[in-house]
Amino acid sequence: MSKHAKQNEPLVTHLYTADPSAHVFEDKIYIYPSHDLEHDGVSDDEGTQYTMEDYHVFSMDDIDAPVVDHGQVLHMKDVPWVSQQMWAPDAAFKNDTYYFYFPAKDKEGIFRIGVATSDNPAGPFKPEPNYIPGSYSIDPAVFIDDDGKAYMYAGGLWGGQLEKWQTGKFDPDAGEQNPDEIALGPWVAPMSDDMLTFAEPPVEFKILDENGKPLLAGDEDRRFFEAPWVHKYNGTYYLSYSTGSSHYIVYATSDNPMGPFTYRGRILEPVVGWTTHQSIVEFKGKWYLFYHDASLSGGIDHRRSIKFTEIKYNEDGTIQTIHPYK
């Protein structure tokens, strides 16, 4: 089943899809989203409503071409360490291999990040038997720099459990930060050459304000919540992310892929639904934001649809804010 891709319209209508990570592989756009299941179960701050179990991969030969569903590429039952909730994934290409990264809860109910491989960007993907040692929380995004070095970024508050790792160990009782504490940032880890493990343990990095001071936890319009994504434009590293409770996609920049990053502004105003999650990719000389909203399901937050729109940079490198329904 496929329809022609159109900006700001659902790219997929026969399934609910979210958290699109878009990449250009083999001259096409490949999209690696989550797959929202239709259910009427519990909805809470832990994200229990996101009971996803598998992944599909989609591709577009061009920006207005039909969207092709390559079918189920990985299912929970094929991953020995996973107990539930296969959330926002990403993919990368190196060593003539396609790597698919996905977060899920392990048998202890702790979010970890797994990896699966294929020789085809459309999968299917064969999972490694265990999660990546040292990985935790959700929303992995892998960025490969011009020198070939790869970095994984990840993290997400609340249901994503990031605040439970503040001591370096998982504390199931750890609660939210106080508003005047320095906000928790995402973590970054350089990947080993085999792309299956970390070359160095994950380190948290901060997002700074215009005066070089770390953003505070109470700064909900700007502080990191989830969905980190890094792209490079004119030699600068751009970290985009969701602010969660205030529902913005914002960005921060750095001259170092390991951070820290400085907050720069808003990319996407709130969409229909609680969550917002993005990726940014260059294709044929233009830049695109892939995102999701819940308009296809009439606003049911765990039945989302992936979309895309073009983004524009100003001369100074800032990104123009997108109003998704204007």
Say which amino acid occupies 38: E
Query: Is residue 92 a contact point for ligand FUB (CB under 6 A)?
Result: no
Q: Is 63 exposed, middle or buried, given 0-12, 13-18 or 19+ CB atoms closer than 10 A?
A: middle
Alpha-carbon Rg for the chain in angstroms: 18
Residue 19 among the catalytic residues: yes
For ligand FUB, the binding residues in 156-185 under the rule CB under 6 A are: 156
* Contact residue for ligand FUB among 16, 87, 98, 198 (CB under 6 A): 87
Point out the catalytic residue in the list 9, 19, 54, 147. 19
Measure the CA–CA gap between 87 and 91, rounded to whole angstroms: 13
Point out the catalytic residue in the list 45, 226, 293, 315. 226
Q: Do 108 and 71 contact (CB within 8 A), yes or no? A: no
Nearer to ligand FUB (CB atom), residue 18 or residue 116: 18
Nearer to ligand FUB (CB atom), residue 59 or residue 275: 275
Query: Is residue 16 a contact point for ligand FUB (CB under 6 A)?
Result: no
Q: Do 307 and 11 contact (CB within 8 A), yes or no? A: yes
* Contact residue for ligand FUB among 59, 135, 161, 275 (CB under 6 A): 275
Residue 269 among the catalytic residues: no
User: Which of 200, 207, 171, 170 shows the shortest CA–CA distance to 186?
Assistant: 207
Nearer to ligand FUB (CB atom), residue 141 or residue 281: 141
Q: Helix or strand or coil: residue 165? A: helix
Report CA-CA distances (Å) from 181 to 175, 216, 244, 250: 13, 6, 17, 20
* Contact residue for ligand FUB among 227, 230, 249, 280 (CB under 6 A): 227
Q: Which residues bind ligand FUB (CB under 6 A)?
A: 18-19, 34, 50, 87-88, 138-139, 156, 226-227, 275, 277
Please identify every residue annotated as catalytic.
19, 226
